[in-house]
A and B are shown apart, each in its own frame.
Chain A
Amino acid sequence: GENVEQHPSTLSVQEGDSAVIKCTYSDSASNYFPWYKQELGKRPQLIIDIRSNVGEKKDQRIAVTLNKTAKHFSLHITETQPEDSAVYFCAAPNNNDMRFGAGTRLTVKP
């Protein structure tokens, strides 16, 4: 089955700096890679996703890049703000279900 590894487990940045979170996956047949944001005590919410037919997707300050050859994808957040502080999860499909990385706790210091 699919195995998703996520790094780093914690990340602290200064407000205005960029943050990058990386994930690797094992199943070369995987073709959909979402990122979820989970604020403290809240539900995970989809913030951006990418399909395997493109290498990059942007939505305002967030972007996701995909390298299918190396089987890794990354979340990029630019101009970070305190409200970006949360736990971020990457995921990849495992046949019919979705497997998640262990999460990255991002702290943005004002």
Chain B
Amino acid sequence: DSGVTQTPKHLITATGQRVTLRCSPRSGDLSVYWYQQSLDQGLQFLIQYYNGEERAKGNILERFSAQQFPDLHSELNLSSLELGDSALYFCASSVGGGGRGEKLFFGSGTQLSVL
């Protein structure tokens, strides 16, 4: 167990809908990262938050947004869902703000299926 908690584990929804994925980082970690993993694909970086502020942005679609709350948990909102958004979404956390040399600890992921 990495200490990073993601809910829900599975999510099935229809095209055009909106969903929210939740992540609680390890105790003491200030950064949360979101990654998307499509079937048999790598880990695509979406966005990072550090202590409530956006720190880095990757290839995140405009239909997707995220935030980190004062208690440091984070939510990833996916709207106007398309079939191609079906993927495993991972959250990871680290102690500091990223920089160069931070170990990332991953949650178990949320499997999103858009039908």
Contact = CB atoms under 8 A, between A and B. Distances in A.
A98 B101 contact: no
Which bucket holds chain B's interface residue count? 20 to 34
Interface residues of A, number: 26
A18 B58 CA distance: 35
Contacts of A44: 43, 90, 106
Contacts of A43: 2, 90, 106-109
Contact of B42 (A34, A51, A89, A95): A89
Contacts of A101: 42
A45 B11 CA distance: 23
Interface stretch (A25-33, A64-72, A73-81): A25-33
A45, A51, A94, A97: most-surrounded residue (chain B CB, <10 A): A97
A103 B40 CA distance: 9
Interface stretch (B21-29, B69-77, B92-100): B92-100
Interface string A77-110: 0000000000001010111111111110000000
A42 B55 CA distance: 27
A95 B109 CA distance: 24
Contacts of A34: 103-104
B14 interface: no
Contact of B33 (A32, A46, A97): A97
A30 B98 CA distance: 12
Interface in B60-87: none
Given A96-B56, A97-B58, A103-B42, A29 B108 contact: no
Contacts of A46: 103-105
B45 A98 contact: yes
Interface of A: 29-32, 34, 36, 42-46, 49, 51, 89, 91, 93-103
Interface of B: 2, 33, 35, 41-43, 45, 48, 50, 55-56, 58, 90, 97-109
